[in-house]
Amino acid sequence: MKKHIYTLALSIFITFFGLSGCQTSEQKAQEAQGDVDKAEENLEQANENLEIALQDSATEFDEFKQEVENKIVLNEQRIDSLKVKLANGKKETRISIQKKIDLLKKKNADLNKRMAEYSKTGKEKWESFKREFNHDMDELGNAISDLGTDNTK
């Protein structure tokens, strides 16, 4: 008797959970449509975020490029002022300093060319380029300052 009661209870239990777990095809279609709608919303949001990021990146690049162009013009002016000071120096020092000035001018022109040729790529490459470029620009600025200091002695 107990065996029959347990069997009956077990079969009722299985039937109850089996029926409650079943969904009609209409319910499944509604859930799938909900998932599709949610995925479309996520896609739209991702596209908007990408567009904003690209605009921010382009703005950052344009600002950096303008800043670099200003520094390059400033370096050219500083190099030209070194040339003027060089004309007043001794002949022996003029030759060696003129070679240094020519090298600095070439480096400045190379930096200008490198900036002009840079193509916009991923954020990681941009950060690397920006870091290296700033380092090179700082080195050039220091070399110009050092040469100006040496020239005035």
Residue 140 · residue 107 · CB < 8 Å: yes
Name the nearest CA neighbour of 129 among 139, 118, 138, 137: 118
Mean pLDDT value of segment 84-111:
83
Residue 72 · residue 108 · CB < 8 Å: yes
Is there a domain that residue 43 lies in?
no
**Predicted pLDDT of residue 139:** 92
Mean pLDDT value of segment 24-47:
78
Is there a domain that residue 47 lies in?
no
**Predicted pLDDT of residue 153:** 46
Number of domains observed in the structure of the chain = 1
Name the nearest CA neighbour of 104 among 148, 50, 53, 140: 140
Is there a domain that residue 54 lies in?
no
pLDDT bracket for residue 54 (50, 70, 90): low
Is there a domain that residue 52 lies in?
no
| Tokens 């239990």, residue located | 13
Query: Average pLDDT of the chain?
Result: 79
Highest mean pLDDT: which of 6-20, 72-86, 99-113, 115-129? 99-113
Taking 60 as the threshold, does the pLDDT of residue 151 lie above it? no
Alpha-carbon distances, residue 127 vs 61, 72, 110, 120, 124 (angstroms):
10, 20, 20, 11, 5
Contacts (Cβ under 8 Å, ≥6 apart) of 151: 82, 85, 86, 89, 93, 97
Is there a domain that residue 9 lies in?
no
Mean pLDDT value of segment 37-56:
75
Q: Domain residues for 91?
A: 60-152
Residue 147 · residue 82 · CB < 8 Å: yes
**Predicted pLDDT of residue 21:** 58
Contacts (Cβ under 8 Å, ≥6 apart) of 57: 120, 123, 126
State the pTM of this model: 0.60
